[in-house]
Amino acid sequence: MDKNKPLFMRTSWWIWVIIVISGLGILGSVASYFNPTTETSKQQTKSIKQNAINQETERKVEKLRLDITNSFNEVVGINIFTKSYLEHIADNHFEITLTVNDKWYYLKEYQQERLLEDAWQYFNYLGVEHNLRTDEDMPWKVVFIDTYDKELAKQGWW
């Protein structure tokens, strides 16, 4: 080897090929690390999809609230419910708290149990009808309280 030649002329050509390829690979990975547009666009796309899902869920929940308000007393056959509060517990899980009037206290125990069962089944049926849950999902919880917020009965997921 001739020590007077420059370094690039003293090494074999294949070593330079390896050095160049390695350098390009490192340069590409560094450039993609500092290029926030790909990660930002992924996050924006994910955010847009999540917002669309949330808006669709809110629309379904509003329809569910209207159905509950308009039909619960009719379905159970007695004008006993005065208020309802629908709480979103998780992605596809809701809980409803129904305020009952003093007629509750005049019902026999088996009638109270039947009323709770009917309300629970109807609430879960409405969830399926509004595509907020499936029949295979864990049943939603129904809670009865009186006008003084005393819990009277509950059924479903605890």
pLDDT single digits (tens) 59-88:
888 888 887 877 777 776 778 888 888 887
Domains in the chain: ranges and CATH: 56-155 (3.30.70)
What does the alpha-carbon distance between residue 108 and residue 105 come to, in Å, rounded to a whole number?
8
pTM above 0.85, yes or no: no
97, β-bridge pairs: 85, 143
Residues 14-30 pLDDT 10s: 676 777 787 777 766 66
